[in-house]
Structure 1
Amino acid sequence: MNQHIAFWTKAQMRKQVAVIQGELAPSLVLTNATYLNTALKKWVKANIWILQDRIVYVGEKMPEHTTGTEITDLEGKFVVPGYIEPHCHPFQLYNPQSLSRYALQRGTSVFLADNFMLLFEMSISKALSFMEDVNDLPSNFFWWCRYDAQTELLEEENYFSEKSVRQLLESPYVLQGGELTSWPRVLHGDDTLLHWMLKTKKAGKKIEGHLPGASEKTLTAMTLLGVDCDHEAMTGTEVMDRLNAGLQVSLRYSSIRPDLPKLLRQMKEEGITNYERIFMTTDGSTPAFYEEGVTDKMLEIALEAGLDPVDAYMMVSYNVARYYGLDHLFGMVAAGRVAHLNILDDVTNPLPESVLAKGKWMKRDGKDVSDDRDFQFDWEGHGIKKRDIKWDLQDEDFQFSGLVGIEMYNSVITRPYNVSINPFSEEINGESDECFLMLIDKEGKWRINTVVKGFAKNLYGFASSYSNTGDLLIIGKSKKDMAVAFERLKEVGGGIVLAERGEIVAEIKLPLAGGMSNLSIEELVVEEKRLTNALRERGYQYEDPIYSLLFFSSTHLPYIRITQRGIYDVKKKGLLFPSIMR
């Protein structure tokens, strides 16, 4: 494809027709393939002709001309469409490039991706260029249009405005608004958000909800206000409630919500037998969670739960493509579609033996045969580079006061508590599970200091440029080691650093905008596990420390958050105390 959006020029289309008319040889023919015919919902035997990146014929015939054509016999093999991830956060320490390469080896070739990080790193025009150019990779990426920051920003209008929303919605790469973490604001009268939602609908695009625990009444109201799909069901009953409200449902299997096995079991108990309005998503899991698989792992779980393989494979391909209006391009093994194909040795084994992406072999007979050149991406050309921190921490930055601290209830839920330690000491007693906590502007303009309880017991110095907004989180029992961790983070240009008694114990370098590694996911998994183990040895007890860092500032979750504006009470929708200008 010369044009990323996956349509072809007149000259290319004439060549494709010429193959059918016997005037031109295809580039690849897969013979004797048993493929999933999604139109008939059955397995059919056929030959599949491909010209460059497009399927041009599926049927019994062979092409008249085969000079220069690669012919591969798939007798005994099964072909399914490339898997589609419908709800992806592609900046969770990894990046779209590394995620694409890793996921393709496991059969996932199309992503519906969150644009959130891009809004904090570049102008809208540059973000739009990034969202288009990432489609030079063998995968296809389509994007969301965020309406809000899911936190309290000092200058929210710089990131979310009528103009920015309009520009994003005009892009053919943007297929939906949301996810709508600010749904309570819409429900309670925020007409600016509702106006943007109406613009989304007028543009012919979907709206993704974020409706955990929503009642039947709330689900119905949000459907009336334009929400089309939700991924927050945590029980089979909640799946049924969403289907009854007219919503599409994404079943989640993620590092903080691995609900899929339970959901499938309870859906059977609820009597759900039609899966046409159901997807599956890993919801932006952290790298180590993907070690067992991506979409292929969810398929494995679905098949083990007894789903018909046809239903299972359609849930991660055709169902998603049809919902987003992409079924003319993806989700089917049929003429006219992009040649994203997975070749299986058996329908019960969703990890592909071979993978084609845009008509090129990415994996063959179990081996990675992808070309490094296909995965090159110009990060600096898109304005994504190391964090250049030109300021220093001062003694006054380590002044911690106030009676209200933040207590962790689990990986992502935090609540207020009364601070019992002396915040003026240089080091907190080793028996306590309390740590100093600082959120400081990446440009060094402001800070907010408090105490966090329950993050770790023996963590002396910790610094992270990976956070909700890209600002710096600095945590620890020792102010001296907190400073050591910050200095190392500054030295490497962004990352996550654990320091203890003046030494660096563990780190993940994140040279891409302070939030993404340039390592492969396989390499990143090793680093993440090393860091997580080091944190667990020091008292971190929850599922996912990376998500804890991400959600410290996220006001779509209860009950108290540390934000750019200050310590924020989510329930009362107000500041407990403000951030301080440096």
Structure 2
Amino acid sequence: MTSITPKTWAESAPRLIDVATGRTPADMVVRNGRWVNVHTREVLSGYDIAIAAGRFAAIAQDLSYAIGPDTTVIDAGGRYMVPGLCDGHMHVESGMVTVTEFARAVVPHGTTSMFIDPHEIANVLGLPGVRLMHDEALSLPVNVFVQMPACVPSAPGLENAGATIGPAEVAEAMSWPGIVGLGEMMNFPGVAMGDGRMLGEIAHTMAAGKTVGGHYASPDLGKPFLGYVAGGPSDDHEGTRLIDCVTRARLGMRPMLRLGSAWYDVATQIKAITEMGLDPRSFILCTDDSHSGTLVHDGHMNRVVRHAIAQGCPPVVALQMATINTASHFGLEREIGSITPGRRADLILTSDLAALPIETVIARGVVIAEGGALTAEIPPYPYPASAKSTVRLGRSLAPADFDIAAPAGAAEVTARVIGVIENQAPTRALTARVSVDGNGHVIGNGRAADGSDVCQIALVERHRGTGGVVNGLVSGFGYDKPCAVASTVAHDSHHMIVVGTSKADMAQAANRLAEVGGGIVVISQGRELALVELSIAGLMSEERAEIVAAKAATMVAAMESCGCRLNNAYMQHSLLALVVIPELRISDLGLVDVTRLEKVDLFIQN
């Protein structure tokens, strides 16, 4: 298809006025629909919508006068006319596909605007990687706005990333046409302590008149939180409890309630609206992280809106949280988020406001999807060679690289263990009694001496070829046979995470990912059960979303065949190195107690 680059409202205004007043025909008229007005929270029956120059020109009960010989006429047949859905915070890379492929996957689900934070590619390729995704976003026939990554690395001193971003890079990016703000400010301790680098990034963003994204991943709502809010972040998607969103809203932040592939944080927090009666215009819905299988099979923002409605939220309120609230937050209320004159002509036709079947999707005045299928041609976006071949181990790894040496003479040891929490981003800091073999190495074969579920985890450095391997223990995956799962998607520094019960399989899995340039692989007893190749920065595939989703399904099945029963276990796997979310994580520098923001020993002395 030919993408319509949206002209400014000023450039379009003469044409819009002429269509609205009947002096010239519209490009498209949608007739006889139920207008879902998210400004007034009304559903108004029997309305027409006139579209010209990719924008809404007029909405009235009879716009037959705007129909000319070349006007496309769509009969809504009494269906609901809903603004195109907006995702207020998300990471394209979590879908394991490019921005183009992500758009192809979500447009049939009614998403026409996305606010993306490409800090995954930033941790691998730095500012040039952000520019690649920014330029790709501008080429698309839907709205993809970019937030400049704020924390690369996310926790200086506790990890090393493949690149570094600071105030100078933020200042440069603020001049780019598609940048709408600063991405999630994950270094919340830095902001609360007045760190000059973090405050410098925020200052450049505010000086540009743009939005500062938040990420306060701590349950402490006392002085550190108050300091963080005073530092400037204006939204936050890390709340998991009712008190989290209530406190944020009361202090002028926009709580972003997320439902991703593995994050289920809407149900507990939406009670602020459904039970406490707080003003819903302060709240936003988002996905944060969705893998390709969720996008292709379950949906995107339509899935989040349905879920909110299922929790008792009135349908139009849920839609406000996925349209106008998001647009207003980013200062784009005059561009997107509602079906009102002058806005970009993004809308959905649906026959049921609660079930929300996405029957027709119009973006910038062009029908782009029908009946759940993309009808527009969106060609692949070419990534340069500089964005590939980014997995550098420096050497071939051997099983001995995954040995965990116990204190001399010990038959059993007490060890710190990362505890996975199903459907949530935080982990638990657990301890377990683990056995030691005859060679003095900890046994992490899936079951600890005390009967708990414990296997090995390793962080393999992959940016500079140092050959470094940091070993630890993890609980919650349930692997009960010799196996290994390795991934170069390892938020946020994106080294390689290997989890397994067999050191031979762990070495084979790591070497396999180095061979293919990144991705996810499942190995069991020397046999490759699944492979998802992610050649772009070790994060994204060059293949179509449907193909990636099929490979990801094979990966999930392979993990299950090894004993894993977690919902979306891969998403949990990929976050085990995220050293800005409590409680216990692993980095290329060692085991990290995120609550205390310090490195800790694997073994606890009795």
**Are residues 1:415 and 2:429 paired?**
yes
1:83 CA displacement: 0.5
CA contact under 8 A between 1:151 and 1:554: conserved in structure 2?
Answer: no
Aligned-partner Cα distance in 2 for 1:436–1:319: 41
Counterpart of 1:437 (choices 445, 458, 461) is 458
Aligned-partner Cα distance in 1 for 2:51–2:529: 52
**Are residues 1:462 and 2:485 paired?**
yes
What is the match of residue 177 of structure 1?
A: 182
Aligned-partner Cα distance in 1 for 2:379–2:506: 37
Aligned-partner Cα distance in 1 for 2:182–2:324: 21
CA contact under 8 A between 1:402 and 1:450: conserved in structure 2?
Answer: no
**Are residues 1:326 and 2:332 paired?**
yes
What is the match of residue 555 of structure 2?
A: 531
Counterpart of 1:132 (choices 111, 132, 135) is 135
Aligned-partner Cα distance in 1 for 2:350–2:59: 18
Task: Decide whether aligned partners of structure 1 residues 121 and 3 sit closer, same or farther in structure 2, where only a CA change above 3 A counts.
Answer: farther
**Are residues 1:339 and 2:345 paired?**
yes
**Are residues 1:314 and 2:320 paired?**
yes
**Are residues 1:376 and 2:380 paired?**
yes
Aligned-partner Cα distance in 2 for 1:571–1:333: 45
CA contact under 8 A between 1:448 and 1:562: conserved in structure 2?
Answer: no
Which amino acid in the other structure matches residue 466 of structure 1?
V
Matches within 5 A, 1:181-330: 181-211=186-216, 212-215=218-221, 217-265=223-271, 267-269=273-275, 271-290=276-295, 291-330=297-336
Indicate the SS of the match to 2:64: coil
Aligned-partner Cα distance in 2 for 1:377–1:474: 31
Task: Decide whether aligned partners of structure 1 residues 378 and 23 sit closer, same or farther in structure 2, where only a CA change above 3 A counts.
Answer: farther
Task: Decide whether aligned partners of structure 1 residues 128 and 515 sit closer, same or farther in structure 2, where only a CA change above 3 A counts.
Answer: closer
What is the match of residue 82 of structure 1?
A: 84
1:113 CA displacement: 0.8
Identify unmatched segments of 5+ residues in structure 1.
none
**Are residues 1:53 and 2:22 paired?**
no
1:510 CA displacement: 1.7
1:533 CA displacement: 3.2
Task: Decide whether aligned partners of structure 1 residues 544 and 18 sit closer, same or farther in structure 2, where only a CA change above 3 A counts.
Answer: same
What is the match of residue 537 of structure 2?
A: 513
CA deviation map 1:397-425 (0-9, x unaligned): 72634559652311451537576434766
What is the match of residue 116 of structure 1?
A: 119
What is the match of residue 411 of structure 2?
A: none
1:535 CA displacement: 2.0
1:77 CA displacement: 1.3
Task: Decide whether aligned partners of structure 1 residues 438 and 86 sit closer, same or farther in structure 2, where only a CA change above 3 A counts.
Answer: closer
CA deviation map 1:105-133 (0-9, x unaligned): 11111111112023134352552353133
Aligned-partner Cα distance in 2 for 1:390–1:453: 23
What is the match of residue 43 of structure 2?
A: 43
Aligned-partner Cα distance in 2 for 1:23–1:143: 38
Q: How many residues align?
A: 574
Aligned-partner Cα distance in 1 for 2:521–2:536: 16
Which amino acid in the other structure matches residue 100 of structure 1?
A
Indicate the SS of the match to 1:453: strand
Aligned-partner Cα distance in 2 for 1:467–1:427: 24
Task: Decide whether aligned partners of structure 1 residues 341 and 281 sit closer, same or farther in structure 2, where only a CA change above 3 A counts.
Answer: same
Deviates more, 1:148-157 or 1:342-351: 148-157
1:21 CA displacement: 5.9
1:230 CA displacement: 1.7
Task: Decide whether aligned partners of structure 1 residues 556 and 438 sit closer, same or farther in structure 2, where only a CA change above 3 A counts.
Answer: closer
1:73 CA displacement: 1.6
Which amino acid in the other structure matches residue 473 of structure 2?
V
Task: Decide whether aligned partners of structure 1 residues 339 and 111 sit closer, same or farther in structure 2, where only a CA change above 3 A counts.
Answer: same
1:79 CA displacement: 0.5
Deviates more, 1:304-313 or 1:322-331: 304-313
1:297 CA displacement: 1.9
**Are residues 1:358 and 2:364 paired?**
yes
CA deviation map 1:140-161 (0-9, x unaligned): 1112223223245766695122
CA deviation map 1:49-70 (0-9, x unaligned): 2224222222233345612211
Aligned-partner Cα distance in 2 for 1:186–1:369: 43
Aligned-partner Cα distance in 2 for 1:439–1:129: 26
Indicate the SS of the match to 1:276: helix
Deviates more, 1:386-395 or 1:84-93: 386-395
CA contact under 8 A between 1:147 and 1:160: conserved in structure 2?
Answer: yes
Aligned-partner Cα distance in 1 for 2:5–2:222: 38
Task: Decide whether aligned partners of structure 1 residues 426 and 237 sit closer, same or farther in structure 2, where only a CA change above 3 A counts.
Answer: closer
CA contact under 8 A between 1:234 and 1:263: conserved in structure 2?
Answer: yes
1:466 CA displacement: 1.9
Indicate the SS of the match to 2:338: coil
Task: Decide whether aligned partners of structure 1 residues 367 and 525 sit closer, same or farther in structure 2, where only a CA change above 3 A counts.
Answer: closer
**Are residues 1:146 and 2:163 paired?**
no
1:309 CA displacement: 2.8
